[in-house]
Amino acid sequence: MKNILLIFVLLLVMAAPLVRPTVLSGREREDPVVVRYDKFKDVTIVETAPNRVKVLWAKAPESGFRFGYVCPGQDSACHPNVILVTYSTVSPLGVGWELMNAPRSIIFLADEKRIAAHDVEWDGLAGPEDITEWFTGAFSPEEFHQLVNASEIEYQVGSFHRKVNQKWLSAWRALEAKAYNQGDLQRDK
């Protein structure tokens, strides 16, 4: 029950910034991992900064990933038993709902090994000028480790697929390093 509550809190906290996502400029963020303490819920949220890509030729002109976890209290050094992922798209109002009718899946090919997020849920919001939608799912620490330690990664969300760039992968690896000290997991490459 406690794990379900933590997952629910993280889903709410991670999805909240996606309601009115900000487009990142071409400047690189200094720290790819953001740590925030929520004193009202008494949890620490550790997450990657939004990874966004402009896709001028696709129906969804802006999309991206955010990975993260929640620690109880004011502690960003807990060892989470689940890593959550949120994939969001922002589309012009006239384009329509891209993810609403898509299969509820976030699938990665990490060095040709299929790694799929568990318990994927959809949500969305129509604003005055655009539509924001997101899928949120979960990975075990071992699955996340396999993902971030692959040398080549592709993903598919709904009908959209592409390769993961090194900037995104660096942020995901930084999150794993923050979550787990060396040797915490039995890992096989």
- Say which residue the tokens 């900037």 belong to: 167
Cα(98)–Cα(118) distance, rounded to whole angstroms? 20
Helices (H) and strands (E) in the chain, counts: 3, 11
Q: What is the pLDDT of residue 15?
A: 46
pLDDT mean by block of 10 residues, the chain; 189 residues: 44 43 42 92 92 53 86 89 92 79 93 97 90 94 96 90 90 92 44
Q: What is the pLDDT of residue 50?
A: 76
Cα(136)–Cα(65) distance, rounded to whole angstroms? 10
For 171, other C-beta atoms within 10 Å of its C-beta total: 23
Cα(42)–Cα(47) distance, rounded to whole angstroms? 16
Instruction: Fill in the DSSP letter of residue 111.
Output: T
Shortest CA distance to 111 belongs to which of 152, 149, 165?
152
Q: What is the pLDDT of residue 181?
A: 64
Q: What is the pLDDT of residue 30?
A: 66
The tokens for 59 are: 């129906």
Q: What is the pLDDT of residue 130?
A: 85
Q: What is the pLDDT of residue 66?
A: 93
pTM score, two decimals? Answer: 0.76
Shortest CA distance to 171 belongs to which of 48, 79, 64?
48
